[in-house]
Copies of this chain bind each other. A is one copy, B any other.
Amino acid sequence: MSEEELMIKQLFDEEKLTDKQKQIIIAAIESFSEKGYSATSTSEIAKKAGVAEGTIFRHYKTKKDLLMSIVAPLMAKLIGPFVVNDFNKVLDRKYDRVEDFLKATIENRREVLIKLLPVIKILLQEIPFQPELRELFLEQIAKKIFDRVSIIIKGYQEKGELIEMPPESVARLAITSILGYLISRYVLFPDLEWDDELETDRTIQFIMHGLGKKE
Interface residue ranges, A against B (CB under 8 Å): 34-39, 98, 121, 125, 128-129, 160-165, 169-170, 172-177, 179-181, 183-184, 187, 199, 202-203, 205-215
Contacts and interface: CB of A to CB of B under 8 A. Distances in A.
A125 B170 CA distance: 27
25 contacts: A34-B129, A37-B38, A38-B38, A38-B39, A121-B128, A125-B125, A128-B187, A160-B213, A163-B209, A163-B214, A165-B202, A165-B211, A169-B199, A170-B211, A172-B184, A173-B211, A174-B211, A176-B179, A176-B180, A176-B181, A176-B183, A176-B184, A206-B210, A207-B211, A209-B212
A49 B212 CA distance: 50
By secondary structure, the A interface counts as helix
Interface centre among A121, A187, A208, A215 (most CB of B within 10 A): A208
Given A162-B212, A213-B160, A176 B173 contact: no
Contacts of A181: 172, 176
Given A161-B213, A214-B163, A180 B172 contact: yes
Contacts of A128: 36, 121, 125, 187
A121 to B, nearest CB: 7
